[in-house]
Copies of this chain bind each other. A is one copy, B any other.
């Protein structure tokens, strides 16, 4: 049971809430006054973290691209909450970059609540209904240059109130990389940065969440992973809310150092039309994973009133499906495919 609530004084978040909000891409989903009234609540602290992560990542991408994110603040129809979608399309470096925050609340049926927990715990609600709150930041970045990998991350928090007033909460998330060509140095930097963040919290986190990531981002019908993984976890509710939040904060803060050095290193790499075509074929596989297997996308598409454009902003601007495409032996394309068929250890 995970009901110990976090103490504001342990939080380590600096500065006044309204001051911190000034650095965001726009005002938060929840009214600033509500956030100010409850600075110690996990809902507030997590919303501040996801807004900060969005802003920090968008600014870093804007700096390297020279372009500007389009910012759309939206509200859920006939339900509580909304989100902020930041998209940069057809930039100099990025073909499509999306960074989305959503904060949603309402009531779940007992069945729906059960399905939201990957371990399927049953929960008891008042008259079968459970007040819930879900929030997260998620992002997919598709660069133009085939030597710059695609990155995806998502960090999220759920809270459900049971009949007796007790709160169930958990965190989930992860960051993973999808290169078009394998570069062991990049792979080691990426995984190494994630491992460092994980190791500060628990020695099992990196090895366990690395495996979970390879298992989750698996395109079963192709027999290959979507990319070279990273970390993925869900349903994390121990040892304490404070400690899990602290871990999630560490993860969120690695997004820029994980990815931006790789972007800068390769953004001017020369490439051929063949390399661009292979990138497009890999983009097709990305679409296959996202539309066929991704739980978030499936849940979103099936939920009435969800904002389709924000769910599908993870799809690349362009993709390609070639019949019977199989790279010739000994080529860099075949080397990439071999890694996707047999995930490797990078640190």
Contact = CB atoms under 8 A, between A and B. Distances in A.
B291 A287 contact: yes
Contact of A221 (B98, B308, B315, B318): B308
Interface in A63-112: 70, 72, 87, 89, 96, 98
A241 to B, nearest CB: 34
Given A222-B308, A288-B291, A319-B321, 20 more contacts: A72-B324, A87-B323, A87-B324, A89-B322, A89-B323, A98-B323, A220-B301, A221-B301, A280-B318, A284-B315, A287-B287, A291-B291, A309-B323, A317-B321, A317-B322, A318-B318, A318-B319, A318-B320, A319-B319, A319-B320
A313 interface: yes
Contacts of A116: none
Copies of this chain present: 2
A244 interface: no
A292 interface: yes
Interface residues of A, number: 30
A267 interface: no
Interface in A277-331: 280, 284, 287-288, 291-292, 301, 308-309, 312-313, 315-324
A91 to B, nearest CB: 12
A316 B308 contact: no
A322 B89 CA distance: 8
Contacts of A221: 301, 308
Contact of A321 (B220, B280, B292, B316): B316
A49 to B, nearest CB: 25
Contacts of A89: 322-323
Contacts of A313: 323
Nearest to A97: B323
Contacts of A312: 288, 321
Contact of A324 (B309, B315, B322): B309
A221 B221 CA distance: 24
Contacts of A322: 89, 317
A222 B311 CA distance: 12
Contacts of A317: 320-322
A86 B323 CA distance: 10
Nearest to A292: B291
